[in-house]
Amino acid sequence: MFGGKLDVVLVKGSCGAVQVNSSDTGGIVNVDSYHPPLDIALNILSNTINENIKPSNFDSASDWNFNKANFSLLYEMMAAADWDCIFNSSDVQSATTKFYEILYNIFDLCVPKKNRLVSNRKRYPVWFSFDIIKDVNRKIKLHKEWKRTNNQNVYKAFSNLRLQLKRRIESAYNAYIAAVEDGIKSNPKKFWNHISSLRNKGGFEPTVTYKGCSLSGTKAAEAFANYFASMFLPNSPKLDFNNIPSTPLPCDGHINISCFTLSQVESGINKLKPLSSVGPDKVPSYILKGCKEIVAPVLSYIFNLALKTGIYPEQWKISKVTPIPKTSNKTLVEEYRPIAVLSCAAKLFENIAHKEIYAQPQVTTYTCREYLG
């Protein structure tokens, strides 16, 4: 007004364009030329923009909830499946693709998908039962109704339900803690999950620092990817088998693994940890263990086809990388190391191959510089 600023309009940075104009609408008092009535128009964003990215370790098409699977039907369908298309294949990539197609089709029929809600709904503690959560929501509705109507009967119902919930929640928590303590030996994973839940502060977007810059969201994920990639060779190593290093090796220096036997594959499946993390192929190890007699011959054929052709399936070259802090400083990207989780079948192949290689009498401690592991 008159070239100066006397009245200030404060808005949040998340608001859109703001327009301030003098109002022509008359009031009950005379208009002050220095402080006229203002018409303020602004756009309020309903959802603030953030850089949260969807987790890369699941796909909605293969996001199965195995906790609610019909395992009886699953094993029955696995036994009745036609695996001949794999045994008749001479291409390892094609055989592996068909293997997963059969598995995934069975999973779609026997395992429900997880219900991942995009909206930010309230998360309740793990010891809250379904009835407790239901009554908590009912208590919230009663409280709103009482505030709106000031009805004493509604308040009495709200007060009684609140008192009951306090007692039930306390009882449920004590029962949960007792179960965790009693199961430390038999189920240590439940104990450590409880410890992790106490450490998890959730509800915010973590911020990390990389090369002096503070990053979050997609930029933080890219920083981890760039840092982990810098640990590897920039180009694929050229392995020339005709130019063997001059390091003397006993015997002829050749490692002979012509094939994996069926008993080796079955033994390897038995040694898989049933509760290990699921790899990129989304197949839990306990599925292979439960169907060992069915999948062992199929995997044995694919493994031997890979050894015969010298081609490793593309699906098994993919791993799920998780950053693990090396020190107590969890804000620096450089203080993390990558942990790669392989697919279950890839892990099985690696375990059998590792055992076979080190069972060779001519294996020495020599490792070529192109090897990283």
- DSSP one-letter string for 239-298: --TTS--SS--STT---------HHHHHHHHHTS-TTSPP-TT---HHHHHHTHHHHHHH
15-39 pLDDT, tens digit each = 667 777 777 666 667 777 777 777 7
Q: What is d(CA 329, CA 153) in angstroms, rounded to the nearest whole number?
A: 54
pLDDT of residue 184: 86
Residue type, 273: K
pLDDT at 237 > cutoff 80: no
244-281 pLDDT, tens digit each = 554 455 555 567 778 899 999 999 999 998 878 888 88
Q: What is d(CA 157, CA 177) in angstroms, rounded to the nearest whole number?
A: 30
DSSP, res 232: S
pTM over 0.85: no
pLDDT at 84 > cutoff 90: yes
Can you tell me the mean pLDDT for 314-320?
Answer: 90
177-202 pLDDT, tens digit each = 998 888 888 888 888 888 877 765 55
Identify which has the larger pLDDT, 217 or 368.
Answer: 217
Q: What percent of the chain shows pLDDT beyond 70?
A: 77
What DSSP letter does each residue of 79-137 carry, written as one string? HHS--HHHHT---HHHHHHHHHHHHHHHHHHHSPBP----S-PPPPPTT--HHHHHHHH
pLDDT at 327 > cutoff 80: yes
Strand partners, 39: 21
pLDDT at 98 > cutoff 50: yes
pLDDT at 370 > cutoff 90: no
pLDDT of residue 109: 93
Identify which has the larger pLDDT, 362 or 356.
Answer: 356
pLDDT at 367 > cutoff 60: no
Query: pLDDT tier at 49 (50, 70, 90 boundaries)?
Result: very low
pLDDT at 92 > cutoff 80: yes
Q: What is d(CA 304, CA 95) in angstroms, rounded to the nearest whole number?
A: 12
Can you tell me the mean pLDDT for 343-353?
Answer: 93
pLDDT of residue 11: 74
pLDDT of residue 348: 94
How many residues does this entry show for the chain? 373
Look at strands 207-210 and 213-216 and give their pairing: antiparallel
Q: Where are the domains of the chain?
A: 1-49, 60-117+205-358, 130-199
